[in-house]
Amino acid sequence: MHAIGDGVCSICGERLFSPYAVTGAPGEPRCGLCRRVEPPFARAAAYGSYESGLRELIHLLKYGGVRPAANVLGRMLAEAIATLEPEFPADSVAVIPVPLHRTKLRQRGFNQAELIARAAMKIRPRGDHLHLCAGVLERKRDTASQIGLTSHQRRENLRGAFGVAQPELVKGREVLVVDDVYTTGATVSECARVLRRAGATKVWVATVARTLKISAQHAEIGPGNEDSRMEGRIGAQPTPMAKAVGI
């Protein structure tokens, strides 16, 4: 499981294939989508590509219920956050996990984004200016699978899915949205839009993994598309990843 290297979009983190990528500022190459449409977040960073061992480790937590995996993933999330940190303000930044709908939360028993965020915060120094604010965002409805949907349909599927339960914690502040996987960006973009409407001055995004173009055929396209297939399946047999990370 290796960290993503250079050659990615400076805004969304997508892999760039053209050496002639247009720059938004000196040394800041952008992908075609970010050149055409300004995302609602300032920048997104991920630790690694959503494939192979990293994908298996995330599944071990989400679908196998192996909670100690969150500690390993938390260290990776902390590294992704560190790449954004030079651009953070000196004052407090609210760290907000992407929420699950109450139905999914009841089925799974935990929100993997929150577990990973808590693990990442534990390894940061005391007196840190990043503060975990779980419960700020709420998922108001359980969205349908994003499989086979166009970009426009994905956005429509998520429209109105999120709300801000505690707007006083985001108004006038920069916030960091965290999740396990960035796939198409539809989920974190909708979260960013909702938070900005609630008064957040700027939204950053950090995830453990990101689907890159070369790995798209293996991607989990949007929220919930693997849940029906994976819930209860991992854990039926011993997985080598658990041994590999010592859990």
Question: Quick one: pLDDT band at residue 54, thresholds 50, 70, 90?
Answer: very high
Question: Which percentage of the chain shows pLDDT scores above 70?
Answer: 78
- Give the DSSP H/E element, type plus range, for residue 49: strand 43-49
Examine the pLDDT at 226 and tell me if it is beyond 60: no
Where is average pLDDT lowest: 60-74, 98-112, 152-166, 210-224? 210-224
Residues 6+ apart with CB under 8 A from 36: none
CA distances (Å), 229 to each of 23, 63, 64, 96, 226, in order? 41, 9, 12, 28, 5
Q: Are 146 and 221 a contacting pair, CB within 8 Å?
A: yes
Q: Sign (positive/negative) of CA torsion 174, 118, 109, 208?
A: positive
What integer pLDDT is reported at residue 242 of this predicted model? 63
Residue 177 token pair: 């949205």
Question: Quick one: pLDDT band at residue 157, thresholds 50, 70, 90?
Answer: confident
pTM value > 0.95: no
* Mean pLDDT of all residues in 128-144: 90
Q: Are 220 and 185 a contacting pair, CB within 8 Å?
A: no
Question: Quick one: pLDDT band at residue 179, thresholds 50, 70, 90?
Answer: very high
Examine the pLDDT at 182 and tell me if it is beyond 60: yes
**Cα angle 229, 237, 66; round to 5:** 75
> Does 46 or 18 have the greater pLDDT score?
46
